[in-house]
Amino acid sequence: VDVALDSKGNVLAAGDIFLADGPGFLFKGIIARFNANSLDLDTSFGVAGKVITENPSDINLGFRALGLDSQDRIIAAGEQEGDFSVSRYLVDGKPDTNLGTNGQTLVDFGGGDVANALTLEEKEKIVVGGFSRGASNNRDFALARLNP
């Protein structure tokens, strides 16, 4: 879970939720935006103040880090089925299709990869850090820079 403030002082929170999926469970990334003054959900964002990631193949996706760029686009990083996942959303909560496929890109270090942190460099480059669990099952530091 991570939180960030946009340029208007609204609070954004990102994490994941578990949903029933037949006999098991599926987790999906969620971002919620709360109004600066009241901390009520901002109903102009996503659906009723929330964006829940929908993957066509119903695979697990969770967010661990959150940031905003100079245009108040929302960047969320985490893990999708063992790879770094980086998603970018427009101010209204719609996926920013200028990043990757439908607003999401994956980075595979060859192990069980999880992005836990992100920051933005000049010219909106996205840097994500986390770990990769290789064949030995040890956690190795992993770092990626995206040039969207």
State what percent of residues in the chain have pLDDT above 70. 93
Residue predicted with more confidence, 26 or 122: 122
Say if residue 122's pLDDT is above 80: yes
Query: Dihedrals φ, ψ of 122, to 5°?
Result: -60, 155
Say if residue 148's pLDDT is above 90: no
Average pLDDT estimate for 13-21: 86
Say if residue 23's pLDDT is above 70: no
Alpha carbon distance 72, 69 (integer Å): 5
* pTM for the whole structure: 0.91
Alpha carbon distance 94, 58 (integer Å): 19
For residue 136, what pLDDT band results from cuts at 50, 70 and 90? confident
Average pLDDT estimate for 71-84: 94
SS (H, E, C) the chain: CEEEECCCCCEEEEEEEEEEECCEEEEEEEEEEECCCCCCECCCCCECCEEECCCCCCCCEEEEEEEECCCCCEEEEEEECCEEEEEEECCCCCECCCCCECCEEEECCCCEEEEEEEEECHHHCEEEEEEEECCCCCEEEEEEEECC
Say if residue 43's pLDDT is above 80: yes
